[in-house]
Structure 1
Amino acid sequence: MLKDLFRKKRKYATIPSTQAKKEVPEGIMEKCPQCGTIIISKELEKNLKICKSCQYHFRMSAPERVESLIDQGTFIKFNTELQTEDPLEFPDYLQKIAGDRKKTGLNEAIVTGEGRLGGYPLILGVMDARFRMGSMGSVVGEMIARAAKQALEKKYPFVLFSASGGARMQEGVFSLMQMAKTSTVLERLNQERILFISVLTHPTTGGVSASFSSLGDINLAEPGALIGFAGRRVIEQTVRQKLPDDFQTAEFLLKHGQLDQVVPRHELRDRLLQLLEFHAYRGNED
């Protein structure tokens, strides 16, 4: 007992063993990049990945987005058989694609399919920035074009969520060709008066912002989303002027007439439902 009273205190803090570190699960907490608040990951997911302190919108994966919008059990994926190739024999490209497939569980940087939102049928496309930063390669462009053709055939509205760094450099001109391809098929929707709603999320840049994401009959965006073609530094060097602090944000684009609305994520499903109801798309009744 006396030994316990006069026990020498350790002069230095002990470092947890490697085994002890492994026993602490990863991914328990998230730090908000805007306000620095520490958030429990499960609570963040329940709140649709929005910071409760400052309303910062974290990125959502394609499966999370589909789950938050589409009526349960109604979503059917299509075009999952398409495989990315390496037309330019770019070093390690296919290995990186395989790594992203394993990491995300997705075949490519977009998920497309058919489902119902509040009972209304629609064709949905959701890009995922976890896969090659959502870059648009040949397969991404083809999946968007095929989804638009499904909307054309079934007379369903087409809702497309963008999240992309732009054209995929590893495919060169083959990637740039997707800008024309997707724009052409969307023009066919316009001619047939089929509703196309484009939702721009963080980030939507490069060739994606310069093509299909800006061609919606209605263009929506999430708060704070980065939207633009070239980077701020490139533009400032070109025009030789200092750009506004909020340049290339969703709010800036709304102010200058390039968006119809900026919609917080909590309100997005209801807003899409209102638009579907307004345009009276009921589809084929079962």
Structure 2
Amino acid sequence: MSTDGSASSTNGDGGARRRVLVTGAAGRIGRGFAAATSSRFDLRLTDLPEADLAAVSGFGEVRPCRLDDVDELPAVFEGVHTVIHLAGQPHPDTPWDKLLPDNIVATYNVFAAAERAGCRRVVFASSIHAVGGYPRERRIHPADPVNPGNLYGVSKCFGEAVARYAAEQGTLSAVVVRIGAFQPFEAATGPDSAWLSDIWVAPPDLFQVLLLAVETPDIQFAVVHATSANDVQRLDLEDTRRLLGYQPEYGWTATAGGATRMHQDGPSQLA
């Protein structure tokens, strides 16, 4: 299924830009993605009315809304080509009474609203926690069965299932992005960063995966992994490279003892 479509605006050079709706835009990932892609996409940025949307107001159109209020959604989704669904409870220890409205009901509402609005694609931000029940030493492939290690992971499995349902039984294209440990460079450097050695994803690398998930044509449904070029990969990246053309710029290496920028002639330690 091609992602080419009519839900676009025109930039100053006369070229068409996709109108991309980002939910959870005031969060860490949403803010960074908006800053990185505001010149490439016509962004519509939404989050809860009480969220700090002023931090992203310079990157696109800001539209506060509650995803559990279905009456608000048609205006927010109108004219959108692709939705990047980042909103939801982000912590693995979130109790079920908060996961149910924010990660289950809201996710269903996003896919339903996207289909009703005629959107072409939804990019769903899943998590390594959807497969976190596997042993740490096992490399996980996108085709492996889900295996959540906590209820947060269960909520992400639900989102992955809804994405596949929407793509195969509905009209949407859907790309599921399983995100590793999204941490800044400071956290991935030094002796205390070893826990990130096989799961780290540098912010620019994640933003690259999300951008490619928006732009890559001819995908009806796919699950891809998002980590950096670490020495050891808990989440296998072969499909992300093959389907999207992903080329991570960073990685965690034992040689450097932390975050490095990858070059053709090898890694170099970040300052």
TM-score tier, shorter chain, comes to 0.3 to 0.5
Higher helix share: 1
Higher strand share: 2
TM-score by length of 1: 0.33
TM-score by length of 2: 0.34
The structure, 1 or 2, with the larger RCO (C-alpha pairs under 8 Å, 6+ apart) is 2
Larger Rg: 1
